Amino acid sequence: MTDAQATLPETPNSNEATDQQLKAKRKKALSLVALLFAIVLVLFLIWKFVFNNTVTTDNAYVGAETASITSMVTGQVAEVFTSDTKQVKKGDLLVQIDPRDAEITVAQAQAELLKAQRQFKQTQANSSSLSSQIYVSSDAIQSATAQVAKAKADLAKAQDDYNRRVQLSSSGAISKEELSTSKASVNTAKAVLDVAQAGLAQAKSSQKAAQSNLEANEALIRGANEQSTPDVLVAQAKLKQALLDLERTQIKAPLDGVVTRRNIQVGQRVSPGTSLMMIVPENQLYVDANFKESQLEKVRAGQKVTLTSDLYGDSVEYTGTIVGFSGGTGAAFALIPAQNATGNWIKVVQRLPVRIQLDPKELEKHPLRVGLSMEAKVDLKSK
């Protein structure tokens, strides 16, 4: 009984101890879960507000607006002053085309210009000559008018003499021979009058012709001078074109850069449009970064970009600015675009090229080349 009495009061105390232990363990577990939840929440907030402010891609490559050097004239290459990998400055002479044909064309254009200027002077002189002819024709008209008046008077006198002789011939006072002579005088006077009238008409016609020629001549030079007449302007334009073609026989660099893809040799004959070489500008490079479509939600033009190149490694960083987005994905502009309307469609995450402009000063310190790989990190908080 003693043992039973001793064990009976110990059972409730043991159960209470067990419950307290379970409660302590449960409380400890709940505290641990709460701590883990708090840690996860803090990590999420840190990722959300600290590490979720950038998007990165290593699918980026250096590009440039290259200059294609072509010939603008026809001729034979006399000398080439550059080669691949050589750096040139804007205005440097690259290729010399034989200028002799162009020089001959310039001489011909100069001669045509002088000829046109002399023709203008001759036209001015013709105006003076035609004006003098008009004055002379006026005197000729006056003289012819006087001749007509004299011929009319002579005809009237001859007609009166003939009429009197006709009256006298009926009485036999004059002979038939004298009457015939008088009639012949009348006919002669009529003929002289006709000649005088024809001379007057010719003088008037000559005056009208001179006036027409003067008006036509004046129309050619009216409102113009030796430098503005149409023929002179055409000749000047031809001379300018000839001088421009002569200037184009010297092909010069349009910008600073590096020569590449030179495919011209001395003695080769070129024509307008012949590609000679290319020049890649070193300080006007950009990067086309191909981001996934899921990364572009917050990417905007004007945001700052940090870039590194495989050429220099992580020790050299470039600062760039987003200047624009491509009008379509790479797949959309592929030579053979994907046909997603087929039954074998599988969704593929697309990439959109983003144009990033590089800082010219940084490019001077660490030059890049077209086609090099880059890694781009966009700061989404920048504007």
Residue 219 sits in a domain whose CATH number is 1.10.287
Distance between CA 246 and CA 272 in Å, rounded? 14
Return the pLDDT at 54: 84
| Structural domain boundaries enclosing 275 | 67-99+248-280
CA 68, 73, 75, 79 dihedral sign is negative
Counting the structural domains of the chain, the total is 3
Nearest of 38, 29, 100, 62 to residue 245 by alpha carbon:
100
* pLDDT in single tens digits along all 383 residues of the chain: 444 444 444 455 666 777 777 777 777 788 888 888 888 887 776 666 665 688 899 999 999 988 999 999 999 999 999 999 999 999 999 999 999 999 999 999 999 999 888 877 776 666 666 676 666 677 777 787 888 888 888 878 888 877 777 777 766 667 677 767 777 887 888 888 888 888 878 877 777 777 777 666 666 666 666 676 788 889 999 999 999 999 999 999 999 999 999 999 999 999 999 999 999 998 889 999 999 998 888 889 999 999 999 899 888 999 999 999 988 887 777 777 777 666 666 778 889 999 999 998 999 899 999 999 999 999 888 77
Q: Is the same domain home to 117 and 92?
A: no
Among 280, 298, 328, the domain boundary falls at 280
Q: Do 137 and 180 sit in the same domain of this protein?
A: yes
pLDDT of 334: 75
**Whether 227 and 345 share a structural domain:** no
* Whole-prediction pTM: 0.62
Rounded distance, CA 355 to CA 285, Å? 11
Asked if 111 and 238 sit in the same domain, the reply is: yes
Same domain? 111 vs 236: yes
Q: What are the structure tokens assigned to 104, written together?
A: 């001959």
Q: How far apart are CA 235 and CA 119, in angstroms?
A: 12
Task: Assess if residue 31 is contained within a domain.
Answer: no
Is residue 122 located within the same domain as residue 143? yes
Q: What is the CATH number of the domain that holds 349?
A: 2.40.30.170
Looking at the domain assignment, is residue 47 inside a domain? no
The angle formed by the CA atoms of residues 152, 157 and 162, to the nearest 5 degrees, is 125
- Residue 135 falls within a domain, yes or no? yes
Is residue 146 domain-shared with residue 234, that is, in the same domain?
yes
- Say if 336 falls within a structural domain: yes
Question: Are the CB atoms for 312 and 325 separated by under 8 Å?
Answer: no
209 and 287 fall within a common domain:
no
